[in-house]
């Protein structure tokens, strides 16, 4: 084995001298590498898990020993990863350490709410902390790199992977992308409690036609740049050191083969300096896309487009040497990719100490630590959205005030596995607190009885009788219905995303008993439930909340925590509305109920069942005295706005006040409103506070017809309120400076 002396590469400082020093170190390694070893650094292969634990295919073990594989994913735990790292460091010619990656999407062992749910907290500090704690736990388990955050904007709940994203708004999605990247990576990647982040999926993966996963994406570049690109940009500006290419095509070229996306846009325009990894076998799939004639051709296309690391297809390792001999690619193309990968290994400190992440004592101390478990509770509570809380017999059902008899019903009521949600990494479902368990702990003096009622798939109504009997003999029913963890997520598109099976039928029959029913919809996408919405008096969107789900929901039911979540995706009335989102455009014939020949449906309103930004509280808030500092704003000015917010109800609580803008006349059509700012505040009962917002010309910029980022003078309408529909409004004019 060739020996190196790698001492402190000055990582994480951003200092130019340190960067030059790092590049010299990278080049010193590169100069010693054979072509096969270089291609090995560009090769990412999987470990496997079965009932006995982690395993590695024999051929992959040999690839590591031969220097033909420099990166492994789906391998974790200190003991296992140390064995693999020892092979790379102690048995290969150059001893270059392995990079270990894993899908740490919303927690590692301790699972937090699915990302879409946590986005509904509108709490950026909380989301950054979730990523930081997930990184801490994953790093303690021997990992260096997470395939997160997913920042794909999506407006289509048929697409199952909305669960991993941040909803339908580019501004909020970008702020969350920034928060999560900072949380994962911290201030310095060489800190062994951090992970390298991976912004994915580049680009526009969240807009597949018909909501079908892996499907083609087709949109104008103007639309792409204004709505879908900003969250990726924010994640990259936050310092993400890797990006994953998406499966879909865009502008007619699969992303994995798109030099426009991966080189012109990502590297040259957005100044990304990290490495690009394909998605799972994404390079091989270029053949199915119909742009590559064979595996070798696919590898050439991907490398020349800007992909640095091949996940799982092994095409780079197996074919690029031949492509090099045939003059199809150049050694400098390979060297550029290897440099980018080695830089991150240096920045992670792996050349200083390949075993720095491999400490059994730290692993035992961090996994399921009190800090992680407490944050799982905090995050779960803030993620829940109260949609409805109407009076029954003159009194609101919620919060529950010491009911004597509680019927807990539904296939998700005592369900540990599905509370983890999709992409729950190494999460342990036996650690999950179910809704039933949480209610038993919180309402210890009540008589609590449970019935599953039905399942998710069949037409079996044999459990209805017992469930209805329990309801009739109880003071309140808490009903948990929705999706399983595998009915959303990757490869889980649904043409009609309603509540599966006969669960909604069970709910309607329980409501008919006359006993107050609190409906908990536990899902990973906005589901369609118009009949249930019409009949039910109390509805929570409770998502899949992770390890502490039951404790969080019991806290909310009891009033120990006042719900504060706000939707980040609109909930449609029916599948025919999809996609439905708040920042739509007016069209030349905006909807008019008195004019048939306008843009509307005959059978349903244009508006969603519940709009973006919506969420109730146990208390009431009022917004009033919305004031603008001036009605004229110069191009170099800042416009100051204020609004008074009062808690007019009987409970302390949080409110998220949202600021929207509409450009009334533009050189290209503009949305009816766009989120520009928000503030989440806590107000005690009876408390009033004046909130201050500012707008600059940067907030009013948009992508023009020539794809330039621009601001135009003219009239604007500005709105403020608790969601995207219940709004106060005012107008101002942007004028050219003299």
Distance, CA of 258 to CA of 225 (rounded, Å): 16
Mean local confidence (pLDDT), 400-417: 96
Query: Which residues make Cβ contacts (< 8 Å) with residue 265, sequence separation at least 6?
Result: 203
Strand segments (E) across 605-727: 621-628, 632-634, 638-647, 653-663, 674-683, 688-696, 702-703, 709-710, 714-721
The secondary structure of residue 185, as a DSSP letter, is H
* pLDDT of 13 strictly over 70: no
Mean local confidence (pLDDT), 285-308: 98
Nearest-5° Cα angle at 461, 458 to 462: 115
Give the pLDDT confidence score for residue 738 in this predicted structure. 60
What rounded mean pLDDT belongs to the chain?
96
Q: Where residue 52 falls among pLDDT bands split at 50, 70, 90?
A: low
Q: Which tokens is 455 given?
A: 């399942």
Give the pLDDT confidence score for residue 573 in this predicted structure. 98
Give the pLDDT confidence score for residue 50 in this predicted structure. 58
Distance, CA of 107 to CA of 425 (rounded, Å): 7
Q: CA–CA distance from 329 to each of 135, 278, 297, 320, 335 (Å)?
A: 37, 18, 11, 8, 11
Go through 183-198 and write b for each residue having 16 or more CB atoms within 10 A of its CB, e for each that does not: bbbbeebbbbbbbbbb
> Of 279, 308, 551, 699, which residue is the catalytic one?
279
Q: In this structure, are residues 76 and 102 in contact, taking their beta carbons and an 8 Å threshold?
A: yes
- Name the residue ranges covered by the structural domains of the chain: 376-577, 621-735
Q: Where residue 18 falls among pLDDT bands split at 50, 70, 90?
A: confident
* pLDDT of 4 strictly over 70: no
Distance, CA of 196 to CA of 144 (rounded, Å): 6
The superfamily in CATH containing domain 376-577 is Glycoside hydrolase family 3 C-terminal domain (3.40.50.1700)
Instruction: Establish whether 279 is a catalytic residue.
Output: yes
Give the pLDDT confidence score for residue 314 in this predicted structure. 97
Give the pLDDT confidence score for residue 57 in this predicted structure. 85
Distance, CA of 411 to CA of 415 (rounded, Å): 7
Give the pLDDT confidence score for residue 12 in this predicted structure. 43
Q: Give the tens place of pLDDT for each residue, 416-443.
A: 999 999 999 899 999 999 999 999 999 9
Give the pLDDT confidence score for residue 311 in this predicted structure. 98
Q: CA–CA distance from 612 to each of 75, 568, 688 (Å)?
A: 39, 5, 25
Give the pLDDT confidence score for residue 56 in this predicted structure. 80
Mean local confidence (pLDDT), 86-110: 98
Q: Give the tens place of pLDDT for each residue, 721-730.
A: 999 999 999 9
Q: In this structure, are residues 553 and 438 in contact, taking their beta carbons and an 8 Å threshold?
A: yes
Mean local confidence (pLDDT), 493-506: 98
Mean local confidence (pLDDT), 158-173: 98
Give the pLDDT confidence score for residue 731 in this predicted structure. 98
Q: Where residue 315 falls among pLDDT bands split at 50, 70, 90?
A: very high
Mean local confidence (pLDDT), 369-377: 98
Q: Where residue 604 falls among pLDDT bands split at 50, 70, 90?
A: very high
The superfamily in CATH containing domain 621-735 is Immunoglobulins (2.60.40.10)
Q: CA–CA distance from 487 to each of 455, 528, 573 (Å)?
A: 13, 14, 20
Q: Which helix (H) or strand (E) holds 590?
A: none
- Range scoring the smallest mean pLDDT among 6-15, 379-388, 614-623: 6-15
* pLDDT of 46 strictly over 60: yes
Please tell me whether residue 232 adopts helix, strand or coil conformation. Answer: helix
Distance, CA of 169 to CA of 154 (rounded, Å): 8
Distance, CA of 492 to CA of 506 (rounded, Å): 24
Q: Where residue 17 falls among pLDDT bands split at 50, 70, 90?
A: confident
* pLDDT of 197 strictly over 60: yes
* pLDDT of 2 strictly over 80: no
- Range scoring the smallest mean pLDDT among 55-64, 140-149, 656-665: 55-64
0.85 exceeded by pTM: yes
Q: Give the tens place of pLDDT for each residue, 320-371.
A: 999 999 999 999 999 999 999 999 999 999 999 999 999 999 999 999 999 9
């Amino acid at each position: 084995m060739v020996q190196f002396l790698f001492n402190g590469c000055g990582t994480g400082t951003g200092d130019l001298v340190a960067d030059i020093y790092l590049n010299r170190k990278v080049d010193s390694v590169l100069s010693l590498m054979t072509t096969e070893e270089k291609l090995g650094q560009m090769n990412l292969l999987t470990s496997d898990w079965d009932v006995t634990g982690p395993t590695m295919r024999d051929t992959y073990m040999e690839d590591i020993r031969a220097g033909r594989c420099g990166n492994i994913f789906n391998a974790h735990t200190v003991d296992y990863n140390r064995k693999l790292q020892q092979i790379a460091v102690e048995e290969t010619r150059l001893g270059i350490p392995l990079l270990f990656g894993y899908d740490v999407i919303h927690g590692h062992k301790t699972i937090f709410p699915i990302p879409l749910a946590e986005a509904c907290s509108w709490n950026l500090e909380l989301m950054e902390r979730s990523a930081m704690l997930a990184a801490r736990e994953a790093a303690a388990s021997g990992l260096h790199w997470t395939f997160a955050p997913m920042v794909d904007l999506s407006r289509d709940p048929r697409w199952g992977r909305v669960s991993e994203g941040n909803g339908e708004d580019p501004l909020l999605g970008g702020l969350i992308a920034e928060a999560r990247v900072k949380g994962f990576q911290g201030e310095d990647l060489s800190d062994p409690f951090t992970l390298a982040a991976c912004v994915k999926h580049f680009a526009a993966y969240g807009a597949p036609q018909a909501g079908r996963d892996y499907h083609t994406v087709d949109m104008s570049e103007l639309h792409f740049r204004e709505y879908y690109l900003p969250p990726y940009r924010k994640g990259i500006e936050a310092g993400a050191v890797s990006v994953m290419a998406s499966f879909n095509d865009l502008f007619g070229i699969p992303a994995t083969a798109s030099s426009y996306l991966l080189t012109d846009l990502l590297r040259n325009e957005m100044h990304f300096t990290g490495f690009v990894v394909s998605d799972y076998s994404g390079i091989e799939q270029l053949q199915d896309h119909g742009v590559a004639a064979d595996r070798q051709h696919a590898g050439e296309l991907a490398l020349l487009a800007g992909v640095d690391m091949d996940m799982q297809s092994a095409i780079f390792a197996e074919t690029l040497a031949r492509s090099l001999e045939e003059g199809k690619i150049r050694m400098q193309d390979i060297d550029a990719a290897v440099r980018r990968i080695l830089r991150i290994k240096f920045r992670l400190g792996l050349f200083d100490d390949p075993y720095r992440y491999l400490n059994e004592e730290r692993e035992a101390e961090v996994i399921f630590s009190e800090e992680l478990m407490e944050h799982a509770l905090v995050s779960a509570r803030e993620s829940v959205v109260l949609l409805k809380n109407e009076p029954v017999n003159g009194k609101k059902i919620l919060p529950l005030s010491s009911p004597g008899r509680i019927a807990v019903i539904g296939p998700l009521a005592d369900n540990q596995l599905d509370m983890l949600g999709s992409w729950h990494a190494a999460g342990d479902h036996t650690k999950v607190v179910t809704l039933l368990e949480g209610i038993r702990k919180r309402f210890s003096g009540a008589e609590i009885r449970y019935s599953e009622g039905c399942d998710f798939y069949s037409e079996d109504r044999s459990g209805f009788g017992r469930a209805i009997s329990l309801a009739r003999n109880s003071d309140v029913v808490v009903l948990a219905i929705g999706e399983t963890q595998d009915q959303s997520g990757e490869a889980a598109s649904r043409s009609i995303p309603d509540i599966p099976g006969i669960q909604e039928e069970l709910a309607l029959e329980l409501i008919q008993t006359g006993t107050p029913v609190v409906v908990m919809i536990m899902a990973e996408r906005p589901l369609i439930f118009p009949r249930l919405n019409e009949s039910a008096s109390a509805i929570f969107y409770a998502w899949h909340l992770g390890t502490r789900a039951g404790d969080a929901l019991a806290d909310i039911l009891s009033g120990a925590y006042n719900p504060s979540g706000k939707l980040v995706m609109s909930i449609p009335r029916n599948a025919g509305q999809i996609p439905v989102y708040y920042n739509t455009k007016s069209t030349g014939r905006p909807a008019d109920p008195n004019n048939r020949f306008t843009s509307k449906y005959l059978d349903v309103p244009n508006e969603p069942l519940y709009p973006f930004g919506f969420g109730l509280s146990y208390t009431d808030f009022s917004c009033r005295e919305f004031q603008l500092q001036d009605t004229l704003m110069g191009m170099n000015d800042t416009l100051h706005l204020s609004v008074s917010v009062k808690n007019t109800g009987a409970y302390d609580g949080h409110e998220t006040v949202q600021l929207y803008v509409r450009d009334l006349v533009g050189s290209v059509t503009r949305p009816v409103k766009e989120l520009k700012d928000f503030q989440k505040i806590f107000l005690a009962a009876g408390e009033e506070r004046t909130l201050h917002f500012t707008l600059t010309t940067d907030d009013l910029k948009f992508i023009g017809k020539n794809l330039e980022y621009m601001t135009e003078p003219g009239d604007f309408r500005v709105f403020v309120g608790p969601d995207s529909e219940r709004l106060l409004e005012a107008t101002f004019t942007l004028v050219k400076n003299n």
